[in-house]
Chain A
Amino acid sequence: MDFVILSIVLLAIGVYGLLTQRHLLKVFISIELVATAATLNFVMLASSLSREVGEAFLILAFSTDTCVSAVILALLVIVSRKYGTTDISKLGEPEEEATEVDV
C-alpha cells in the first residue's frame, strides 16, 4: 500500500498548495500534483488488482492531463500579459462592483 501513501502525500501537498499559494503558476503546479496523485493511484490500483480498465483509463487521463496543462499554460501567459499580475487574489477582484439584480 506504499503507493497509496505516496499518492495521499502528493494529494495533500497539492491541496496544501492550492490553499496557500497565490501565484498562478504555483496554483497550476498544485493542480498538476493533485492530478498526478490521482493518476498514480489509478495505475497502481489497476495493476495490483490486475484490471486492464484502470490502465486504459490511465492513458486517457494522461492525454487529457497533457491537453489541460497546455491550455492552462497558454491561459497563464495571456492572463499575465493582459492583467500584468499573476496573483490570483488580485485577479479575483472584480474590476467594478457587480450590480445586484433586484430581488
Chain B
Amino acid sequence: MMQFFDVSCWLVWILPLVSSVFVPLFSRFSVKIRNYFVILISAITAFLAFSLVPEVALGGEGFINLTASWIPNGVTAGVFIDPLSVLFTCLVSLFGVVITVYSQGYMKGEENLTRYYFFLLLFIGSMIGLVISDNFLQMFIFWEMVGLCSYSLISFWSNRPESVKSGNKVFIMTRIGDVLLLAAIGVLYSSLGTFSFRETIALLPTIPVSTVTLVAFLLLGGAIAKSAQLPLHTWLYSAMEAPTSVSALLHAATMVKAGIYLIARFIFIAGPLVATLPLWLPTVAWVGVLTAFLGATMALYTTDIKGVLAYSTVSQLGFMMAALGSVGVHAASSLGWFASLFHMVSHAFFEGLGFLLAGGIIHALGTRDMRLMGGLRKLMPITYYLALVMIITTSGLPPFAAFFSKGLVLESLMETGVLLQVILLFATTALTFAYSVRFMKLIFLDEPSEHLKKLHVHEAPKVMLMPAALLAILCVIWGFVGPALGSFMHTEVELSLLFAFFNIETAIFTVILIPTALLVYSTYWRKYSIMNSLKSDKNPIVKLLKHGYFFDDFYEKVVAKAVMIFSGGVKFTEEAGFEMFPQKFASGVIRLAGGVYKYFDSAADQFLNVVAGQTMGGASKVKTIDTLADRLLDLLAGRALRSASKARKVPRNSLQHYLAAAIIGFIMLVVLIIISVGV
C-alpha cells in the first residue's frame, strides 16, 4: 500500500502533464482514439487522486513530504501531501473527468480540438501540480502554467476577435498577481534561503514580523488577481468568451480557486503567526466581503447567462476569502479555514453544474443573452430540474451543500468579524437568492421569446447531461459530508448537522429571505410599475451595476490610456530628441554648405572679375576661362544643393540617423566618463 502511495502521489500530476504531449500524436490515428485517450488519462488521474485519500485520513496529524533532487545543492522537487492538497487534487481530477466527458458533447464538430484537449490535459496536470507542490518555486511554475492554459483556452476560438481580446485581457490582468507572487517568493527566499514549505514552517517564526507581513501582503496580491477579487475581478467576466466547458473547469471549479489555495496554504504554513501580522487578516476579510457583496450586485443586472454565473463565482470566491480572513490564532485548525475550503468544494459543484447547464442551453439556442430565452421549462425539462437543484444550492437553501458551507462561513465571520462585515455578508446571501431566482425566471419560467419560437429547441445530449447530473447529486449530498470532512481536515471545532439547522444564522437568513422573495416576485412576476423603475436603464444604480461599477472602463480608459500616453510621450521625446536632432544637424550642415557655396561663388566671381579687369587687353581667352569656371562652379554647387535637398527627404528612422544618434550618444558617454573619472 505504501509503495503504491509513493508512486501515485507523483504520477497524479506527472501523468496528465506527460500525456498531454501525446494528444497530438493520437489525433494522427483517429479523432475517436484521441478523445478516449483524454478521457482515460483523466479517469486514471482521478483514480490516483482518490487513492491518496485513505493515506492522509489514516496518516493522522501533519503531512507527508516526499522529495526528489532537481537542482543539485539547491532546490528539490517534491510533493506535499496533507488534507488541503489532497482535497484540491481530488476536486481538480474529478472535474477533469466531468469536463472531458462533457466536452465530447459540447465541443463536437469544432475544429482544432487537438489543441483544446492538449491544453485541457495540460491544465489538469499543472493544476494538480500547483496544489501538490512542496515548495514555492515549483508552485509558481505551475501557477504560471495554469495561467497559460487559461489564456489559450479562452482564446480557443482564435478567429473571433473578442475571444482573442478577452484572452489577452485575462492574461495581462492575472499577470499583475503573478508578479506580486514572484516578489513574495523572492523576499521569502532571500530571507530564508529555501523554497520548501516544510523548512518555511520551521524557519518562518525566526525572521522579523515586518518581512512576513510584506510576504503575506504580496501573496494576498497574487491571490486577488488569480481568484478574481476586488479590484481585479473584471477579468473573470471577460473570461466568459471561453467555451463553456472551459469556463466550468477553469473559471468556476478549479483555477480561480488557486488564490484561495495560496492563502489557505500560507495560513497553514504561518500557523499562529498569521494573527500577529498587522492588518493582514482584516484586509483579507474585507477584500472577501466587499468582493462578495459587489459581485452579487453585479450579477443582478447582467443579461448574459454566463455573466450571471461569472459574477456569482466572483461573489462566492469573496465568501471563501472572507472566511479565510476570519481565522485567528487557531490558523489552519480554525472554523474559518475549514469553512472556506468546505464552501470552495460546494461552490465548485453548484457553479460547475450551472456552467454545464448553461453550456447545454447555449448549445441549443446559439445565444448567451437571457432576454432571448424564457419558457425553456417545457422544452428542456431535464435541464430545468437540474437547474433547480443548482439554484437552490446557490442561494443556500437547506438541505443542499451551500446551506451548510455558507452557514459555516457566516458563523466564522460572526465569531471574529466586524458587525459591518456580517451585515454585508447577510445582504449578499439575500442578493444571491434574488439573482438566482431572476436567473430561473428569465431562462425557464418566462414567456418564450420571439427568438425562441424560430428555433427548434431540443434537450441537451446525454453525454452532456450525465456529468451535470453527477454534479447535481454531489450538490445534494455534499452538505452532509461536512462533519466527516471536518475530521479529515483536522478541524478542532465540533461540527454537527443538526446544529446547522437550528442556529442564529439560519434564523437571520430565513428572516431576510422573505422580503427579498417578495421584492423579486413583485419585480419579475407581477411586474408592478413601481418595480419597473428598478429595471429601467434610466436608474443610475442600474447603470452603475450594468457597467460593473465602471471598473473596466477605468482600466481601459485611464490605465491603458495612461500607458499609451506615456508610450506616446516617450516616442515623441525620441522623435524630438533623438531623431529630430540629427535631422536638424543634417539640415544645418546643408545650410552651411549652401552659404559656403554662395560665398565662394560670389567671391570667385569677383576674383575673376578683378583678374579679368586687370588684364583687359588680351582678355578674350581669360573671359572664356572665367565663364567656364563659372559654369563649373555652378554645376558643382547645383549638384551639391540637389543632393542636400535629397538628403532632407531621407526617411526618418534611417540607419544613418540612428548611427548619428549613436555617435552623439557615444560622445556624450565619453564626456560623462571623462568628467566622472577625471574629476
1/0 per residue, CB under 8 A from B, across A11-39: the answer is 00000100110000000000000000000
Q: Which residue of B lies closest to A101 (CB)?
A: B304
- In the bound complex, how far is the Cα of B566 from the Cα of A53, in angstroms? 37
**Contact B74–A19 (Cβ < 8 Å):** no
Q: Does A48 contact B (CB under 8 A)?
A: no
Chain B residue at smallest Cβ distance from A52: B73
* CB of B259 closer than 8 Å to a CB of A: no
The one of A16, A20, A56 that contacts B72, using a Cβ cutoff of 8 Å: A56
A53, A96, A101, A102: the one contacting B71 at CB < 8 Å is A53
Look across to chain A and name the residue whose beta carbon is closest to the beta carbon of B240: A101
Alpha-carbon distance A16/B572, docked complex (angstroms): 12
Complex interface bits, B151-186 against A, C-beta within 8 A gives 1, otherwise 0: 000000000011001000000000000000000000
Given contacts A19-B566, A102-B303, contact A53 B571 (CB under 8 A): no
B570 touches A103 (CB 8 A): no
Count residues on chain A whose CB falls below 8 Å from chain B CBs.
Answer: 16
**Which has the most chain A C-beta neighbours within 10 Å: B71, B303, B369, B571?**
B71
A95 CA / B164 CA spacing, docked (Å):
13
Q: Is the CB of B570 within 8 A of A16?
A: yes
The answer to whether the Cβ of B574 comes within 8 Å of any Cβ in the partner chain is: yes
188-228 of chain B: CB within 8 A of chain A: none
* B642 within 8 A of partner (CB): no
A98 is contacted by which of B161, B302, B304, B548 (Cβ under 8 Å)?
Answer: B161
- Residues of B contacting A53 in the complex (Cβ-Cβ under 8 angstroms): 71, 73-75
A52 touches B72 (CB 8 A): yes
Of the residues A56, A94, A103, contact of B304 by C-beta under 8 Å:
A103
Q: Does B547 contact A (CB under 8 A)?
A: yes
Q: Is B623 in contact with chain A by the CB < 8 A criterion?
A: no
**Most B-side CB within 10 Å, residue of A51, A56, A96, A103:** A103
Residues of A near B574 (CB, < 8 A) are 16, 20
Task: Give the distance in Å from the alpha carbon of A16 to the alpha carbon of B307 in the complex.
Answer: 38
Q: How far is the CA of A94 from the CA of B165 in the complex (A)?
A: 10
Which listed residue (B307, B547, B571) contacts A19, Cβ 8 A? B571
B546 CB–A CB distance under 8 Å: yes
Of A57, A98, A103, the residue contacting B307 (CB under 8 A) is: A103
User: Shortest beta-carbon distance, B311 to chain A, in Å?
Assistant: 11
A98 to B475, CA, bound (A): 38
Contact B302 A51 (CB under 8 A): no
Q: Is B368 interfacial (CB 8 A cutoff)?
A: yes
Task: List the B residue with the shortest CB-CB distance to A96.
Answer: B161
User: B558-579 CB contact bits vs A (8 Å, 1 = yes)?
Assistant: 0000000011001100100000
Give Cα distance in the complex from A96 to B159, angstroms.
Answer: 12
Question: B144 to nearest A CB, angstroms?
Answer: 12
- With contacts A52-B72, A53-B75 known, is A102 near B304, CB below 8 A? yes
Query: Is B161 a contact partner of A94 (Cβ separation < 8 A)?
Result: yes
User: A56–B75 Cα gap in the complex (Å)?
Assistant: 10
Which residues of A are found within 8 Å of B567, using beta-carbon distances? Answer: 19-20
Say yes or no: A103-B162 contact (C-beta < 8 A), given A16-B570, A56-B72: no
Tell me which residues across on chain A come within 8 A of B302, comparing CB atoms.
103
A16 to B566 alpha-carbon distance, docked (Å): 11
- Do B161 and A95 touch (CB < 8 A)? yes
Smallest Cβ distance from B81 to chain A, in angstroms?
25
- The residues in B between 529 and 573 inclusive whose CB is less than 8 angstroms from any CB of A are 546-548, 566-567, 570-571
Q: Are A56 and B571 in contact (CB under 8 A)?
A: no
B303 cross-chain contacts in A, Cβ below 8 A? 102-103
Chain A 84-103 against B: per-residue CB contact (8 Å), 1 yes, 0 no? 00000000001110110111
B residues in contact with A56, CB < 8 Å: 71-72, 74-75
- In Å, the complex CA distance between A43 and B363 comes to 53
**Of residues 33 to 79 in B, which have CB atoms within 8 Å of A's CB atoms?**
71-75
Residue on A with the closest CB to B371?
Answer: A102
Q: What is the CA–CA distance of A103 and B370 in the complex, to the nearest angstrom?
A: 10
Least CB distance from A12 to B in Å reads 11
In this complex, what residue of B is CB-closest to A97? B161
* Complex contact B162–A101 (CB within 8 A): yes
Q: Which residue of A lies closest to B70 (CB)?
A: A56
Shortest distance in angstroms between A75's beta carbon and chain B's nearest beta carbon?
Answer: 13
Write the chain A residue with the least CB distance to B566: A19
**What's the least CB distance linking A41 to chain B, in Å?**
12
A38→B73 CA distance, assembly (Å): 22
The residue of chain A having its C-beta at the shortest distance from the C-beta of B575 within the complex is A20
Bound Cα distance from A14 to B567, whole angstroms: 13
Residues in A with CB closer than 8 Å to B72 are 52, 56
Indicate with 1 or 0, residue by residue over B344-368, a CB within 8 angstroms of chain A CB atoms.
0000000000000000000000001
A selection of 17 A-B contacts at a CB cut-off of 8 Å is: A19-B566, A20-B570, A20-B571, A20-B574, A51-B74, A52-B72, A52-B73, A53-B75, A56-B71, A56-B75, A57-B71, A101-B307, A102-B371, A103-B302, A103-B303, A103-B546, A103-B547
Q: Which 3 A-B pairs have the closest CB atoms?
A: A53-B74, A56-B71, A19-B567
* Supplied contacts A52-B71, A102-B369, 18 more A-B pairs, CB within 8 Å: A16-B570, A19-B570, A19-B571, A20-B570, A20-B571, A51-B74, A52-B74, A53-B73, A56-B71, A56-B75, A96-B161, A98-B161, A98-B162, A101-B304, A101-B307, A101-B368, A101-B369, A102-B303
Which residues of B does A touch, CB under 8 Å?
71-75, 161-162, 165, 302-304, 307, 368-369, 371, 546-548, 566-567, 570-571, 574
